[in-house]
Structure 1
Amino acid sequence: MGTRQLESFVRERCRSGTLTVPEAGRLFDRLLATRDPAPSIYPFNHLFTELVRMNNVTNHYVTIFSLFDRLTQNKHVSPDVCTYGILINCCARVDRVGFAFVLLGRFLKVGPGVHSDVFNPLLKGLCKDNRIHEAAAIVLDKMPKLGCTPDLFSYNTLMSGLCKMGQIEKAEELLDCMVSKGLQPDAVTYNTLIDGLCKKGEIDKAKELLDYMVSKGLQPDAVTYNTLIDGLCKKGEIDKAKELLDYMVSKGLQPNVVTYNTLIDGLCKKGLLDKATQMLQCMISKGLEPNVVTYTALMDVLCKKGEIGKAEELLDYMVSEGLEPNIVTYTTLIDGLCKKGLLDKATQILQCMITEGLEPNVVIYNALMDVLCKKGEIEKAEELLDFMVSKGVQPDVLNYNILIDGLCKKGQLDKANQMVQCMISKGLEPDVVTFSALMDMLCKKGEIEKAEELLDFMVSKGVQPDIVTYTILIDGLCKKGLLDKANQMVQCMISKGFEPDLVTYNVVMDVLCKEGAIEKAEELLDFMVSKGLQPNAVNYNTLIDGLCKKGQLDKANQMVQCMTSKGLEPDVVTFSALMDMLCKKGEIEKAEELLDFMVSKGVQPDIVTYTILIDGLRKKGLLDKAEQVLQCIISKGLEPDVVTYNALGYTVQTRRN
């Protein structure tokens, strides 16, 4: 086979997509050994290009550099600009940017001339490694000094790196720099910057840039519009996103699957399931097939709404349509099942996922550990942590925080501290959630001073308290009756830029009510409203319970009316508080009437409600009725607790007498 025939054969083998590393090596040897005439550099470049393009390049990049060394040592064929560009690109792909600089230095020393094709792969590698400052120095300083003018690819690569790092202002300056040097930005340039602005939440500036782009004669493509639609959806501006969709269509551009998926996901995140379903139907009517991303978004909103059964049905339908669930799909469903406490079902889905060759990720382990801890099964959660480590999944701060919080809620301070030490030994720093969990346990144990010391230690470590931390401490101080210190903590919290939320106010209102200072609690309710906070059912229930315990039935009923006027429905806690007061006043018939009214409103009594009624009936000597209520409790599948049995114990004793 002659030289030209061999070159042609090499070119065809490279284009075939079936070339292997060993075959490439053999072809390289044949080319290097060919004489009369010697081959050109082009077939060598074809081979290098194909070797670098292969997916498993990290497994054979040493072979590539070995072949390159052999090429540079022969006297018949010399590497050209393209060769060096290919090899530098290889360095970027396999994270060997340091060696890329060595190649660049060799090229500048022996190369045929400076060219942007050699610098551009290096820029790509630097930006991939987040070494943006070095990339900028090459584009803006090094290349011009060497007589090499950065081209559009050079600027676009740097632009992408700056946007990826969130350095949008510098990216905008780079755009101006490009224009000042007479280089016209293309659609890629504008799309990159628009995407960066959207990710920073600067949607208005992104839209202005879109208009500017059009004014320069460049037509936005589907990528441009999809980027803006995504930005608007992430800001929750769904109506504006849909308007942009309509505008996009009016300009003759057809939305694609990505466009619709973005809108469906945005609607789902807003909880607008019906509208998301309508968008799905619109998508199908346009001849576009929903994919795994579409169905996963819908499953996510169903899980968040607690409609797990429908989410499972959607998974089955998706599979019946020939779509394979991915790790995100399974994570969504497992997390939803765990949040509903359906551990067995979550475990079944996990097994199904593993069977299909997908390995659980840290999010799935977090969900499973969380439900185990909430069920009090700390040992099993710890075993799961060990199992995930054995599977090569490294725990994150959230994993440890879940366990630490679970241990704290079980009162196991020593084990919680051991877990903190284990976490630190793994190179993970405790965060505000870690410290808050430990402080909460200390406060519940009444060890307020230790909790305050922990706060000081936390701050000394550079971890700033958040609203939850302050609320935990305020609650602990209030429960110890240290109202002055609690008030100081509230002032400290405000001075740090944290406004008390509904939970914080409720903590203070609760202690005021327990101390009988109802008027002050009411004043606090008015004050929080003046601060723009809308009280919730918990706030009203705290006051209603306080008024009931003071025997102020009329004022309690007025508070219920106020609560209802604000669009808040009385719940089981509200009715139980009112029933408790009626029972304590001996007005059992009214308490029973209130129970019937409560049920007619769709509010189901709980064990506390029934126990209140049993206790009231016992104190009135209505023992048969008390036993009837007990039977009602059992028939409804409710478990009487120790308080219920105590009440019934008195009943039995009375009957014996």
Structure 2
Amino acid sequence: MGTRQLESVVRERCRSGTLTVPEVHRLFDQLLATSNPVPSIYPFNHLFTVLVRTKNLTNYYPTIFSLFNQLTQAKHISPDACTYSILINCCTRVNRVGLAFVLLGRFLKVGPGADARVFNPLLKGLCKDNMIHEAAAIVLDKMPKLGCTPDLFSYNTLMNGLCKMGQIDKAEELLDYMVSKGLQPNAVTYNTLTDGLCKKGEIDKAKELLDYMASTGLQPDVVTYTTLIDGLCKKGQVDKARLMLQCMVSKGLQPDVVTYNAIMDVLCKREEIEKADELLDRMVSKGINPNIVTYTTLIDGLCKKGMIDKAVNMLQHIVSEGHEPDVMTYTALMDALCKNGEINKAKDVLHQMIAKVYMPNVVTYNTFMDALCKEGQPELAEELLHHMISGGLQPNVVSYSTLIDGFCKMDKLEKAKKLLSEMVSKGILPNTVTCNIIMDALCKKGETENAEELLNYMFSESYLPNIVTFTTVIDGLCKKGLMDKVEKMLNVMLAKGVMPNLVTYTSVIDAYSKLGFWKDTIRVFKEMLDRGFLPDEVTYICMMNSLFKQGQKKETQNLFDLMVRRGLKPGVVSYQVLLLGYANDGTINDVINILDSMLLNNVAPDYLTYTSLIKEYAKNRKVKDAMCILIRMKQGGVKPDLAAYSPILEVLLDMGRVDDARHLMDQIIGETDDSSTQSG
């Protein structure tokens, strides 16, 4: 076979899309052995391109470089800029940027001169790895110094990288710079910047860019309008998105499925399912076929609206129509079923998914594991983890954190600790959330020393403890009354740049209040106010409790009044504290007035309110007042049980008032008989 004929065969086989790796080797060897005439570099480049496009590139890239080395050793043929471009692209795709730089250096040394085609795949790889500074240095400095003018692809690649990193100001500066260099931006340039502006929420700027684009003679395309529509939708401006859609159509541009999906997404997120259904009908009527993203969005919307049966029916419908649901579709439905407590149905969906040869992803498994843990079945969730691993899927930090949280909530701390050790041994590092889960469990079991050790571990491993971390430890120390340690922890917290919040301060105030350290309680309360935190009802309740226990009824009332003046509506617990203060040191009329005040403020006294008062009066041997509260309890529609009567019976017997106790007991029996008769 002649050289030109062999080149033609290589070209056609590469275009076919069916070329295998062994066949690439054979054709490569044949080309390399041909010398009369010498083959051009183009068929070699075709073969390299086929290899770079293989699915398992990580497995084949050593083969590519082995062939490249054979090519460079051949004296009758040399790689060109396109060859190096293909090889550098291969390096960036397998995350070997260092090797890409080596190839670039080699090309600059042996090649005919710097060429943008060689730089561009390296720029793309750098931007993919978020190495924007390095990419910018190449485009704006290194390439010009080497006499290589960056082309439109170079600038567009850098602009895309800047936008993805949220550096929109620099992307705008880059647009001005490339124009100043005499390079005319194309639709890709403008669409990239438009997308960046929209993702940053700067919709007005994006519209201005649209107008500027049109003024340069470059007409916005479907991608431009779809990007703007998506941006408006994400800002919740659906009406403006619809107007933009109308504008797009008036310009002779037909919206595609991506355009409609953007609007569909926001409608479903707003739970406007009927409008989403109407949009689906409009799509179909215009000859635009919904894709799996469309249906997944709708199914997710139906699930969030609680219309799970309709979501299941839609899944069955799209399967019958020949659409193949993807992992996201199944995961959305599973998530809804799990949250609705329909674990068995979620299992069915998982099995259906596997039967369709769709391998569940980590998110799918995590969703199911979370549901099982919330149902109090962490053991089943752990089995699912093992199933996930046996299927070749690597769990992530969320997987283990979910399981650890599940076992902690079931009071199985030792098992949670073992899982923590297991995840570390697998190279999965716990994050702040994982540590917080363990820390909370330790503190709840009173193991504050172990919680402090865990906090020190977080410091040593450069984790960033957050407000939840510190508040959890502080609350644990507060519950044990270790106030010296609490004060030290507050100082550490501030030194680490973490500001205590209302929950933190309330824990400390509650602890000092319960210990009877009123001066410290007031000090922390004032510090909280100085830092701009307004106390909530819980904070006031803690302080009122402390005052009540010290018998300071007047101060308790003053604090209650202050809470009301600050616009906080007291709940039943706040009233209970106040009522107990007056029951202990006040008249029955004071208590009745407060109960009336509760009703006027739409706060209904509950069972605990009445029984607490009865116990307080009985303890102080004020039987008449206790009986008054009992009558008020019945009038308030709260049925007293034997536990409500018991304190009064006990004090009557203790006072030797046996007849009164017997009379009250007859009353209880009579009420019980009446209740039984009514039930019958």
TM-score w.r.t. structure 2 length?
0.75
**1:45 CA displacement:** 2.4
1:586 to 2:631 alignment: yes
Q: Corresponding residue for 2:280? A: 280
Q: Corresponding residue for 2:84? A: 84
Question: Which stretch has the larger CA shift, 183-192 or 235-244?
Answer: 235-244
- Name the CA distance, whole Å, in 1 between partners of 2:144 and 2:453: 59
Q: Corresponding residue for 1:7? A: 7
Change (3 A) 1:273 1:496: farther
Contact kept in structure 1, 2:14 and 2:47, CA below 8 Å: yes
- Superposed, 1:104-115 pairs within 5 Å as 104-115=104-115
Aligned AA (2:307): E
Give SS of 1:36's match: coil
Aligned AA (1:554): D
Q: Corresponding residue for 1:524? A: 563
Question: Which stretch has the larger CA shift, 506-515 or 14-23?
Answer: 506-515
Change (3 A) 1:159 1:611: farther
Deviations 1:158-197 (A, max 9, x none): 1112222222232222222212211121111111122222
- Name the CA distance, whole Å, in 1 between partners of 2:509 and 2:34: 90
- Name the CA distance, whole Å, in 2 between partners of 1:314 and 1:466: 41
Question: Which stretch has the larger CA shift, 330-339 or 485-494?
Answer: 485-494
Q: Corresponding residue for 1:334? A: 334
1:505 to 2:507 alignment: no
- Name the CA distance, whole Å, in 1 between partners of 2:60 and 2:289: 39
1:431 to 2:473 alignment: no
Q: Corresponding residue for 1:557? A: 599
Question: Which stretch has the larger CA shift, 271-280 or 399-408?
Answer: 399-408
Change (3 A) 1:433 1:152: same
**1:448 CA displacement:** 8.7
Change (3 A) 1:171 1:226: same
Q: Corresponding residue for 1:623? A: 672
**1:123 CA displacement:** 1.5
Deviations 1:382-439 (A, max 9, x none): 4444443444444444334434444443444555555555555544244257426734
1:465 to 2:467 alignment: yes
Contact kept in structure 2, 1:166 and 1:200, CA below 8 Å: yes
Aligned AA (1:527): R
Aligned AA (1:505): D
1:265 to 2:262 alignment: no
**1:17 CA displacement:** 2.1
Change (3 A) 1:370 1:89: closer
- Superposed, 1:420-459 pairs within 5 Å as 420=420, 422=422, 426-431=427-432, 434-435=435-436, 438-439=439-440, 442=443
Q: CA RMSD in A?
A: 4.0
TM-score w.r.t. structure 1 length?
0.78
- Superposed, 1:90-109 pairs within 5 Å as 90-109=90-109
- Name the CA distance, whole Å, in 1 between partners of 2:327 and 2:530: 44
**1:154 CA displacement:** 0.8
- Name the CA distance, whole Å, in 2 between partners of 1:491 and 1:194: 50
Give SS of 1:482's match: helix
Q: Corresponding residue for 1:636? A: none
Deviations 1:520-565 (A, max 9, x none): 4564355356xxxxx7xxx7565677789865443223222xx9xx
**1:344 CA displacement:** 1.9
Deviations 1:454-509 (A, max 9, x none): 88997895322059865654565566573766776677677778x66xxx834335
Q: Corresponding residue for 2:513? A: 482
**1:257 CA displacement:** 0.9
**1:319 CA displacement:** 2.0
- Name the CA distance, whole Å, in 1 between partners of 2:402 and 2:32: 62
5+ residue gaps in structure 2? 473-500, 549-555, 581-590, 614-626, 646-664
- Name the CA distance, whole Å, in 2 between partners of 1:477 and 1:89: 59
- Name the CA distance, whole Å, in 1 between partners of 2:525 and 2:246: 50
Aligned AA (1:41): I
Give SS of 2:631's match: coil
Change (3 A) 1:248 1:521: farther
Contact kept in structure 2, 1:408 and 1:441, CA below 8 Å: no
- Name the CA distance, whole Å, in 1 between partners of 2:456 and 2:73: 66
Aligned AA (2:536): Y
Change (3 A) 1:321 1:45: same
- Name the CA distance, whole Å, in 1 between partners of 2:359 and 2:521: 48
Change (3 A) 1:521 1:152: farther
**1:308 CA displacement:** 2.4
Change (3 A) 1:438 1:489: farther
Deviations 1:118-164 (A, max 9, x none): 11122122222322222222211111111111111111111112222
Change (3 A) 1:375 1:82: closer
**1:24 CA displacement:** 2.5
Deviations 1:359-403 (A, max 9, x none): 333333333333333333343334444443444444444334434
